[in-house]
Amino acid sequence: MARPRAIATSRSHTTLALVLGRVAYGESDLVLGLFSEALGRVSAIARGARKSQRRFGGALEPMHTLRMRLDERPRAELLSLRESSIDKPRMRIVADLERMQAAGRALSWVRRAAPARTPEPEVWRLVNALLDRLDAEHSDRLPLADLAEVGLMLLGAFGWGIDFSRCVRCAKPCETGRPALLDPGRGGLVCRACGGARLRLDGGTRERLSRAAAGEPGVLVGREAELGLDIVEAALFAHAGLE
């Protein structure tokens, strides 16, 4: 006698989330790219979000941490957004172009690098910490400096951390204070005996980049912040195809 098939049922998830992107769908709907605490990176459809402002209000905007209820139907590619509210607003970001650009750049990294439907608790923590830093009331830091520092930590969270202390090929350590050659795509220093690399770091810069990657805030300024961003995006391009 054949066994009866199990009945597939919908599941409901309540989670904090960040909006990574929005695309109009049909006459009144939105398809949202989300990075959520509980589910990782997912896509969801918000029915009627463009037609009625009362449906979700302002609770579909990027930069804010949102609390969402998402329904998951069997074999459906998209989740369905049922409820959304702002859990943590970040109004200083949306009111400042430089802060908003830095935040948007970080969210674009997550959109391209985070695997689908895989919770990434450390990535979630770091991205929200960056958004909080960018939203700080009395910060004299350049937004791109905060972005570079957290970006170096995000590489480690994704499993692509940069080793600033030794050659990634032969494991030979580089003495503190000495210059070194770095290949972001290969994950760290490459000594001359192993072929070297195009990017040369002086000893002080290498030390400060290493401290930033380890989580020390406020160590990158000026040209070093720009260099840190270049390293982050070169590594993301090598591993995730992010341009």
Q: What CATH number corresponds to the domain at position 51?
A: 2.40.50.140
Residues 144 and 99 in one domain: yes
Residues 66 and 161 in one domain: no
Number of domains in the chain: 2
Residues 71 and 121 in one domain: no
Range of the domain at 23: 11-90
pTM: 0.91
Residues 58 and 134 in one domain: no
What are the beta bridge partners of residue 167? Answer: 189
Q: Which distant-in-sequence residues (6+ apart) come within 8 Å of 127 by Cβ? A: 18, 35, 106, 107, 110, 150, 154
Cα distance between the two ends of the chain: 57
Q: Which of 125, 85, 134 is nearest to 105 (CA)?
A: 134
C-alpha to C-alpha distance for 117 and 6, rounded to whole angstroms: 24
Which pair of tokens denotes residue 240? 């995730």
Residues 53 and 113 in one domain: no
Does the residue 2 lie in any domain?
no
Tens of pLDDT along the chain (243 residues)? 555 554 457 799 999 999 999 999 989 999 999 999 999 999 999 998 888 766 787 789 999 999 999 999 888 889 999 999 999 999 999 999 999 999 999 999 999 999 999 999 999 999 999 999 999 987 788 999 999 999 999 999 999 999 999 999 999 999 999 999 999 999 999 999 999 999 999 999 999 999 999 999 999 999 999 999 999 999 999 998 755
Does the residue 6 lie in any domain?
no
Measured from the Cβ of residue 174, the count of other Cβ atoms closer than 10 Å reads 20
